[in-house]
Structure 1
């Protein structure tokens, strides 16, 4: 099979011929039809983000494809089935705290590197070997829509956080980072899950206006000033009812002020979920959290059943994949695709490689 391989950080991807993978017990091989390119992929492959991974590696995190072959213990999946390739691979020998890696992207611990040594290559390849449980059936989809279905990978991140927060129909939710790629997806997912209102703070007026255009009055936008106390009060006042959940998806920042401002806007007995990229410590007032019975939790990715549940929201028409900007590249232009993703990231935009 052909694949786009990272041989060394800071060097371009190389299109190489690799051995075709063969599935064993608990595994399957998928013919990749569409694979998303992360907006920050260039920083990862360039070494700026210092992601641990075993090189050389065919990169690419998640994708859409059709089953080529299954291991002997598969009972439902069969060749030809359309599936979402979930990159969140969990070790099977520890139920409560499994080691986790993102296939084709990062193995953040020595134990996770063991996983990557076996489930090695990502989706910038004609085929991928992955665990059976990481292939989510999609039913019959139009091959032309495979790129749009790649949006599942982005939406799954906030979906995992909102499930962890136990979002209930009718809740008011605040998405901190709503004008970003993952944050804008979080707005759509929260509404699909039944949020009565999503408070969307941000500084990008054009994106805030687009969120209102897309989702109507159930989204309330709040321009941020940078003044913590003023922004917290503005978010509280904008919400039509007390904010039950704050989900932080802000990118790597040198300053915790916007994260803290959003967290302090949550109502008593509310929940704050931290899933963003903040790179400095976050200080929250102990007495405020205690007296108002506020839950603060970190959350990484999502539970194993989340891809199937999210796909069901799409099939039910609750989460739309139609109003997306998709740009396709062939595998031979993988480096051009990575550059395009870096230059054209943002809300509802996807750069796709079609192996």
Structure 2
């Protein structure tokens, strides 16, 4: 482990500027915190939009970006009872306030804050994972167990999978059920398909416009995935989705990006069977434009449950790691491109230009 009192990091000083590689003081440890040596940090496909300001995230500058990491524990606080120096951990970026159990304020460390309370958290847990070290709450250092150094970058796929996993937990997906994943050909959506199968889904309906990506899903997962090529006609698409699900889609999870049409979301939502469940965790309407309109009598008369889900519960990372350890979810599905910390700007550009199923970009400080 590095012994100096300074670390290298990629810092964003102003929106629209490039990341600057600088020397920062090592993070100092407080009670209830852990210092982690970052070994691999995933780069979100839309991190370029955060850095440019296009996403309009609450992001107090200057700040080191980077949401989530795989690393080794460097130092633990006095209240840690199980973590030890050298342990491999997943650094969960979802930092929650400890003084609001029912409605905690949340910041995504190195990415965004939710509201003024989240911004207050962000100002303290200021720097993300594009650095040699980071300070995180003790509960956000999730043990991975023993892993091979060569497999570290593959474990970064946990960051991608966690988001849709939160949606699947909210949907209460049961073994044997049929689920429709709206956005199945994107990076989060394709991970959702793999996760749904790992959790025992009998069938996953996967709509999309990219025929090559749909073919790839069929090749990877076989007959339990039924793809639907979208036409852009809402009624036609809804009918085709229902037919692919044999007329009984138990739940729908929408994870389409902000650029998606509300018509695509509505077609998917209204393909669910009576008494079915719908989980909304995409970005439609986030950047303006028309809102989602769903017919009130249809919801009421068909006893449809519609749930909004942002992120995932605190226990989700540990449960997801257990799925991987059990061999139910293979991280080898993911193709990884790696960059050094000095290449942080190139990594951000690469992540934006290489969006797609089972692709991740990683910075290795």
Structure 2 distance, partners of 1:254, 1:194, is: 28
Matched, 1:163 2:173: no
Task: Answer whether contact 1:197 1:240 (CA < 8 A) is retained.
Answer: no
* Counterpart check, 1:295 vs 2:305: yes
1:93 aligned onto 2:99: yes
SS class of match (2:303): coil
1:193-226 Cα offsets, whole Å, 9 max, x none, are: 1100100000100000000011111100011111
1:248 maps to 2:254: yes
Q: 1:274 aligns with which of 272, 280, 287?
A: 280
Q: Partners of 1:114 and 1:182 in 2: how far apart?
A: 28
| Distance in structure 2 (CA, Å) of the matches to 1:240 and 1:155 | 27
Correspondence 1:304 to 2:314 = yes
Tell whether the 8 Å contact from 2:105 to 2:114 is kept in structure 1 after alignment. Answer: no
Note the 1:202-241 alignment, pairs <5 A: 202-240=208-246
Q: Are 1:161 and 1:247, in contact at CA under 8 Å, matched by a contact in 2? A: yes
Q: Which shifted more, 19-28 or 168-177?
A: 19-28
Q: Secondary structure at the match of 2:114?
A: coil
Tell me the equivalent position of 1:285: 295
Deviations 1:74-129 (A, max 9, x none): 00001100000000010000111101110000013111111011111000000010
The answer to whether the 8 Å contact 1:66/1:79 transfers is yes
Q: Aligned to 2:215, what secondary structure does the other structure show?
A: helix
1:329 equivalenced with 2:335 (yes/no)? no
Distance in 1 of aligned mates of 2:122 and 2:46 = 21
Distance 1:345 1:254 in 2: 15
When the two chains are superposed, the root-mean-square deviation of aligned CA atoms in Å is 0.9
Name the counterpart of 2:88: 82
Matches of 2:137 and 2:357, distance apart in 1? 30
How many aligned residue pairs are there? 355
Aligned-partner Cα distance in 2 for 1:347–1:164: 23
Aligned equivalent of 1:341, options 317, 331, 351: 351
Q: Distance in 2 between matches of 1:192 and 1:101?
A: 29
Report Cα offsets for 1:159-190 as digits up to 9, x if no partner: 10110111111110000000111000100010
**Superposition TM-score, scaled by structure 1 size:** 0.99
C-alpha deviation, 1:147, in angstroms? 1.1
State the 1:241 CA deviation.
5.8
Task: Report SS of the residue matched to 1:75.
Answer: coil
Q: The residue matched to 1:336 in structure 2 has which SS?
A: helix
1:8 equivalent among 6, 10, 14 = 14
Unpaired runs of at least 5, structure 2: 1-6
Query: How does the TM-score come out when normalised to structure 2?
Result: 0.96
TM-aligned CA deviation for residue 275 of structure 1: 0.4
Contact 1:172 1:241 in 2 (8 A): no
What is the aligned partner in structure 2 of residue 142 from structure 1?
A: 148
1:105 alignment counterpart:
111
Greater than 4 Å deviation, 4+ residue runs:
none
- 1:48 aligned to 2:58? no
Q: What residue ranges of structure 1 are gaps of 5+ in the alignment?
A: none
Residue 130, structure 1, aligned to residue 136, structure 2: yes
Match of 2:4? none
Instruction: Name the SS of the counterpart of 2:332 in structure 1.
Output: coil
**Secondary structure of residue in 1 paired with 2:238:** helix
C-alpha change, 1:191 and 1:287, in structure 2 (3 Å) is same
